[in-house]
Chain A
């Protein structure tokens, strides 16, 4: 029989990796895309041009590497924990993204947006107190 504490430790360790690598990847992608410039046209020819510009940007590749690390942690944790637990539990990453946007990228974050992010985190806190698996173990 598997210990519940062990299952929780394994789950939260991987969620920790997710909340570090996910936001870092988003911030790196944002920095990279700001260098590329706003996408104003979605015609196939323009998108093809953009494709080569985007993927010759080092910052984008760093972002992809970070998101790949996130994806590995996410994939592993989904092999035992419920999707509807993992996804909300990892949503603290949304708060970390806002903090990184503000402190690292110097973005203007309005008070309403901060309150919104805090409410998202409160939602996460509540979700974190529900059991990680509700379906039958194979």
Chain B
């Protein structure tokens, strides 16, 4: 049996989505800016797609949706574009300690352009410390970026409270969120959350890779990061990736249809999975929050006395694919910062395994995983010089 539990990194593309992509590669392949009928059709369909996506997040207008090549580009456009455009007003940016690597890389680069960055800590459950967040805001703060759902430990950030805090400030601070792990999995209402910018990634909800979008609230002062022919939007030049966009739309349609039901079903599976691991394997620690504060799509445990890359490779040889926060598994040989940010030590990071579900994950797959996990953990603990007496 093969079990894919690394859906936070990427998901398989659904046949219906593949069908859409194929259709737009082989039949309806015209560019929307052509002067002929088939081009006009594409133009209209793209506009419909924008309207659709706008509706999914309760945006006011389809013009607020910019298609990009993925969430990384969306994050770059949002952060760099807004930072540079508002430089005269201020140079301070606030992010959380659990941002996705791409956001951290971007703000690091912005530091070189003269921006100051404050990283607000999270608590041991991975929730943003709201008091410290509010204290971190300055008259020169122009932008805040907080991930919607932590991708490593699964914490659902208090976006609503953040939005409220920001609306109480006496100057405009743009509010961005990387919603890759929230979009199409739980409700996201940009009016309710008072968001100005939202990054979404197509391949996280069974859409194709290489496509995503950025929501930009009308009136947001933002600069482009690339220049060229104005496709639909001066802010993002270049030919639109129509097949991928239409594929992403189909994937989103299917995901939203099942969103509520999946949330409930996966919550049950999550409780079951966590329950089995905690009762059947010793010396384990759940990383991240329990219950409603946690996305039902994510489980993350640290296994004492053994190392994550070995665990994940061992599982992989048994057909189960997961992720690990161990330093050994990263190119940089640094332990996953998310574990450190929630107060875990290096050892806890090294022994961490992240299991991320898709809405198609079954109880059978999880039972299989637990069996293999027990086997691998037992075997590695036998070889380990570290024992429970410690």
Q: Is this pair of chains taken from one and the same complex?
A: no
A residues near B, CB below 8 A? none
B residues near A, CB below 8 A? none
